[in-house]
Structure 1
Amino acid sequence: MSDNQNHEEIKEKDVLEATQTVIKKALDKLGFQDEVYELMKEPLRMMTVRIPVRMDDGSIEIFTGYRAQHNDAVGPTKGGVRFHPGVTEKEVRALSIWMSLKAGIMDLPYGGGKGGIVCDPRQMSFREIERLSRGYVRSISQIVGPTKDIPAPDVFTNSQIMAWMMDEYSRMKEFDSPGFITGKPLVLGGSHGRESATAKGVTICIREAAKKKGMTVEGSKVVIQGFGNAGSFLAKFLHDAGAKVVGISDVNGGLYDPEGLDIDYLLDRRDSFGTVTNLFNDVLSNKELIEQECDILVPAAIENQITEKNAHKINASIVVEAANGPTTMGATKILHERDILLVPDVLASAGGVTVSYFEWVQNNQGYYWEEEEVETKLEKKMTASFENVYRLASLRNVDMRLAAYMVGVRKMAEASRYRGWI
């Protein structure tokens, strides 16, 4: 698998351009013409909104929000809403494209969508966050809906925020609409397994990747960069499976112990924003943590953590991307040349959107599945999707990222062609 050798030099911080580059390579490999790339390189719709919110002190603060809808040739668009001070329009555009790819890889009847609000919920009160959430829904209400565009949780958003958004949308439409949004509490039409779905999908990919390397999860040393929703659930799942979690990190730094960390202790002391290292004195930087010795490295935090500057220092046999865009294209090439198996984000982290799809299906039919059924269906889809991507990578002599993009764009491109768009 050596097709990465012709990757172009890409600015490490420009996630959108990096994504577009791989999409172009994937479409070229599949034999699609240039107009298909022109259609897919940007979202079909991008909305920017300004949301006035009355703060607890009586002042009015104006927040900027975004909603991108990448491509709806296959079906309604689908994707999370993040609350973060670093949200940008360009980031939201890129993330909507990734959601299209995830839907294609998992064979879901969706295109990609994504939303975000520039804010810091860590500095806001409970009621301020509620008012912001409801204001965002009012601002985008004309372009979203259960058959148009279905939001979900993302960075610093959760089931409570989804509940507020669903309630606001239902009030506006004057009928209850649980299928408008996923990631809801169970009592409001949520699905079993949704909260841990991303981590469950990553765990399945780790198991399958380990098999390809002649390894087992049990006894493997794992470093997880990020201890938020995905990272914390993942640490628990891997610990329970017999892996030795030797490193974890949060925004403040990382903890590393080659003999294994006390995961139950860390989970018990983790706060709602995923921070725990502030309780310890001997803390590594995030940069230092991902270079520590392990069998499996899982970047589960933010973009651009493995770059051309540190890829040669990665000391793992397998890298599984639980975060969006943690490895740059240049770093992907280096890891591939070093025979490190990289499972890309658009495959590894697709468990979340898959169980969101299950939730949407249950909302539409009004019949809800037990947790065991959800897990069985997720296991089947994740395992099949991993095998499809791995088989294509081997067959076409390309890396796993390019193979995943090839799987992800094919259905969307063919649907666009049948509709007469291209």
Structure 2
Amino acid sequence: MAEADGSLNPYLRAREAFRDAVERLGLEPAVYEILKQPLRFLEVAVPVVRDDGSLAVFTGYRSQHNDALGPTKGGLRFHPSVTADEVRALSMWMTVKSALLGLPYGGGKGGIAVDVDTLSEREIERLSREYIRAVSLIIGPEKDIPAPDVSTNPQIMAWMVDEYSRIRGENTFGLITGKPLVIGGSPGRLEATGRGLIHATRALAREMGLAFEGATVAVQGFGNVGSVAALLASRAGARVVAVSDKEGGLYRAQGLDLDRLLAYKRDHRRLAGFPEAEPITNAQLLELPVDILIPAALENQITAENAPRIQARIVAEGANGPTTPEADRILFDKGVMVLPDVLGNAGGVTVSYFEWVQNQTRYYWTETEVNERLETFMTRAMTAMHRMHARYGVPLRQAAYLVATARVAEAMRVRGWLK
């Protein structure tokens, strides 16, 4: 029995996914009892002195879901919609992502309910430093490692690692990933999510017997993830026939010249008006007759309404949650393989792990070394997930939970957590 309608609450939805995995794997009920909620959850008040001298107090959170495999790891977002249950759910998904990739991490996540557009840069700095002070007792390079997420960036990470280093009285660059290069950031981090997505997609295509070279590709969303994925897909021999941003898309059956398109976007800050393609809508892009569809924009783009018209053989999720649960079922029944976001956009956390390793050893790799290691990790995770899919006959999203839950359960068992 479902505990509730998980589609209405991300936390309940994550709990149900773990329950299903535990039951399919035949694991002891105690595994679910541990995984159904964070091991630790902290809610803090974050006071900030505004530039005008007034005081504002914001609510912040840090969730540490499970640390059986290692310190918890996950992003920190600043957004007015941040809630306790959202942060709990995101930390649970980070456990799945890290375990699936074989990273020595558990899942963590943090957030502050704040609209950063209403703050000055100095106020954002004060907010960042106050948050780190508030959570400093439960984070650290061997405890819990934050990273950028929605509305946070390398500069905010730099302020945070500086504040923590002041508290500790020593440089502690391994506290946080996604930092500027000059203080221990990793080469390749900016492109890691889009690059990892293409590595995973190519690996899935191989499992399906689909030649990536010559395959047609449509990419919804032309931000950091989508633009990198489109460019790398083109360089790998695929034919990118359509891309889009929030204003709409472009289509060219013979394939788009990505270098010229990226140059046009740099000059015009938009895709509209590019002369070498015809305009299409975002809705039309999703339903094009292509081999590979990459939704890399917003959540809930493929729904029960348009899923029957999706013609792609692979839907490779670069965005978080672009496919609804109802659409997932429809696509699976149609034989469309959905590469889930939990792996599709895991390149970021994988290179974050590389950054942490480099910080801990004080030995830094070249971008080529980072990219080679990223391909190894993404391909290996894809293989493990696809094998679980074949063994249990479930969609890849469920297979990802099966792989991750089995690994976390094994770690809990050998550590003596399960009696």
Instruction: State the TM-score, normalizing by the size of structure 2.
Output: 0.90
Residue 197 to residue 331, structure 1, CA distance change in 2 (3 Å): same
**2:43 maps to amino acid:** T
In structure 1, what is the equivalent of residue 270 of structure 2? 276
Which residue in 2 is equivalent to 1:60? 55
Unmatched tracts of structure 1, length 5 or more:
1-5
Q: CA deviation at 1:196?
A: 1.4
Which residue identity is paired with 1:128?
Answer: E
Q: Give the alignment of 1:130-209 within 5 angstroms.
A: 130-209=125-204
The sequence identity of aligned pairs, in percent, is 52
Aligned to 2:32: 37
- Aligned twin of 1:349: 345
Structure 2 residue 360 is matched with structure 1 residue 367: no
Q: Secondary structure at the match of 1:152?
A: coil
Q: Deviations over 1:145-164 (max 9, x none)?
A: 10110001122222222111
The count of corresponding residues between Structure 1 and Structure 2 is 414
Q: Is 1:307 aligned to residue 303 of structure 2?
A: yes
CA offset at residue 121 of structure 1?
A: 3.3
Instruction: Describe the shift of the 1:362–1:124 C-alpha distance in structure 2 as closer, same or farther (beyond 3 A).
Output: same
1:226 corresponds in structure 2 to 221
Aligned with 2:74: secondary structure?
Answer: strand
Aligned in 2, Cα 1:303/1:8: closer, same or farther, shift over 3 Å? Answer: farther
| Residue type of the alignment partner of 2:131 | Y
Structure 1 residues 44 and 302 mapped into 2: Cα distance closer, same or farther (>3 Å)? farther
Matches within 5 A, 1:308-323: 308-323=304-319
- Tell me the residue number matched to 1:46: 41
Q: Residue 65 of structure 2 corresponds to which residue in structure 1?
A: 70
SS of equivalent to 2:364: coil
Assess if the C-alpha contact under 8 Å between 1:253 and 1:283 holds in 2.
no
Partner of 1:108: 103
Report deviation, 1:364. 1.0
Shift of 1:123: 4.7
The amino acid of 2:173's aligned partner reads P
CA RMSD of aligned residues (A): 2.7
**1:204 and 1:26, CA in 2 relative to 1: closer, same or farther beyond 3 A?**
same
TM-score by length of structure 1 reads 0.89
Offset at residue 52 of structure 1 (A): 2.4
Equivalent in the alignment of 1:3? none
| Equivalent residue in structure 2 for 1:18, among 2, 13, 28 | 13
After TM superposition, the structure 1 stretch with the greater mean CA deviation from structure 2, 55-64 or 382-391, is: 55-64
Of 276, 289, 293, the match for 1:297? 293
| C-alpha spacing 1:276/1:376, structure 2 compared with 1 (3 Å) | same
Cα distance in 1 between the residues matched to 2:331 and 2:389: 15
Equivalent residue letter for 1:403: A
Q: Displacement, 1:310? A: 2.4
Q: Residue by residue, what CA displacement relative to the aligned partner does 1:194-250 show, whole Å, maximum 9, x if unpaired?
A: 221111110101111222333333333322233333223222222333333333344
Unaligned runs of 5+ in 2: none
Matched to 1:237, the amino acid is: L
Q: Which has the higher contact order (CA 8 A, sep 6+)?
A: 1
